[in-house]
Structures are given as structure tokens and as C-alpha cells.
Amino acid sequence: MTHLACTPECYAPDALQVQNLTVRYGQHTALEEANVTFHLGELSAIIGPNGAGKSTLLKAILGLTPDVHGEVTFGGRQDVRRHTAYVPQQQTLDWAFPVTVWDVAMMGRTGRLGWLRWPGRADRERVKAALEQAGVYDLRQRHIGELSGGQRQRVLLARMLVRDAAVLLLDEPLTGVDQATSAQLLSLLRGQAEQGRAVVMVTHDLEQAREWCDHLTLINRRIIADGTPQQVYTPHNIEATFSRSALAYGHQEA
């Protein structure tokens, strides 16, 4: 990653800040000159059509994309990953892997467990609390391959919760879940934001995002619009994001 010159004054304290981020896969530019700030205490949604670069943005924040230019900081520091828990798209994971719901949630503690240290009582209590919060404690002994889509999503959220991270990044956490579950998961995520975390989710559901989120980022290879739902949710911005021409003529508007 290229580090651009940025004075300490231009860093947003206690925020996840993306500056001039460009991501390429070979000849293809998936994301161009993206600038966006995700604040602690806010639930944010990244919205755009298929192939718009939403997952790429999350992966680039985590340093998981190979060809990246720009800068990502949390609280002015570049050790973003240390403060972040990530929930990838459900279908990118191997659900046939022979582990239980409990094991998956405990994996969220792995970073906190020292070398050759077995989970202690505090780890087990944290996992129990997270599974309860996500509504899957009763399923803790089930093999993950036996779970429904909604149950899997809850298990991934539990794994995220046990990390106690300041920044939560979720890639389409509401895909494939019914309306009631979706509302419960959104409520859980809102709670996490209200506890002071920066919660950022990729979603295709613009109406739901408008209703639940403090901050919306419309994206189509570039950031099309970024701000409060009131600022962002305009016919012009929606058209610019979801029309085909936006891919060729992305522009930025507050």
C-alpha cells in the first residue's frame, strides 16, 4: 500500500478513515479514489449494485487485496486490522468443515489467546454470552453444516462479537435471512454502534439501510454519495449509483 502524505491534523481521531483508496485486480480498477470516514458510535451501510466494489472496499480496509493505493487508518494509525472484526459473505466459507457452533465462536477469541494457551474461563464465558446474544446458544453443539442460512449468519455474528473489536465490518450480513431475523440482527448491530463501535455493513437493501443506519455510502466503483440518510437518499444519487452509466462516469457528491 502506498502511504500518502497526511498531516496529523487531517486524521479523524477514533474513526476508520479511508483516503484516496484505489484497488485494482490486474487491469480492472474495482475501486477508484475512494474517500470515506466511518465514525465510532455509528451504524453505516455501504450500498451499490453487483460488482460496484463494496466487498473490495471492506477487503482493502483489512489489507486483503493485492494492488492497493491510498491509506486506511483507525484513530490515525495504520494497524487497522488489530482493531477490527470482519464477517465475510456467508457463501465464501466452507460450512462442511467439521466443527461445532461453539468452536466457530471460540475461533473469534483465537487472536486473544496466547501461543499454546487453551481457552480459559473468561474465554468460555465470553463465547457463551456472544452465542446467547446472537440467539444460537442452544445450537452450540450442532455441526455448522446442519445450520440454516439465518442460523449461520447468527453464528458468524457471535464469532465477531467475541472479538470485542472497535470496528466491525460485515459483508452482506442480512442476505438470506427472513424479515424477523433481519430486524433482530440489525437491532444487535445498532446496539453495537450505541456501545461506541464503528459498525459498517455491506447491504443491498437500501430501504432497510435508510431506516436503521446513521450513515450511508453509495458506491459504484467510486463513492457516489456519502453522509446521513437524509443527505444521501435522493433520486439523483440513487440513479447515479444504480444506472449503468455510473460505472463509466462515477462522481462524488456530499
Ligand X SMILES: Nc1ncnc2c1ncn2[C@@H]1O[C@H](COP(=O)(O)OP(=O)(O)OP(=O)(O)O)[C@@H](O)[C@H]1O
Q: Which is nearer to ligand X, 56 or 192 (CB)?
A: 56
Q: How far is CA 86 from CA 171, 208, 237, 253, in A?
A: 8, 21, 28, 28
Kindly indicate which of the ranges 23-31, 78-86, 149-157, 233-241 contains the residues binding ligand X, using the contact rule CB under 6 A. Answer: 23-31
Strand order from edge to edge, sheet including 67-74: 28-39, 15-25, 67-74
Does residue number 236 form part of the binding site for ligand X (CB under 6 A)?
no
Tell me the Cα Rg of the chain: 18
What's the CA gap between 105 and 125, in Å, rounded?
A: 11
Does residue number 55 form part of the binding site for ligand X (CB under 6 A)?
yes
Q: Which is nearer to ligand X, 68 or 162 (CB)?
A: 68
Q: Which is nearer to ligand X, 53 or 150 (CB)?
A: 53
Does residue number 13 form part of the binding site for ligand X (CB under 6 A)?
no
- Nearest distance from residue 19's CB to ligand X, in Å? 19
What's the CA gap between 233 and 254, in Å, rounded?
A: 11
Does residue number 250 form part of the binding site for ligand X (CB under 6 A)?
no
Binders in 30-49 for ligand X, by CB under 6 A: 30, 48
Among 28, 82, 124, 236, binds ligand X (CB under 6 A): 28
- Nearest distance from residue 180's CB to ligand X, in Å? 24
In this structure, what C-alpha cell is assigned to residue 45? 451501510
Does residue number 163 form part of the binding site for ligand X (CB under 6 A)?
no
Among 19, 37, 44, 56, binds ligand X (CB under 6 A): 56
Residue 123 makes CB contacts below 8 A (sequence gap 6+) with: 106, 109, 112, 113
Q: How far is CA 235 from CA 26, 48, 56, 61, 231, in A?
A: 34, 14, 25, 29, 11
Binding site for ligand X (CB under 6 A): 25, 28, 30, 48, 50-56
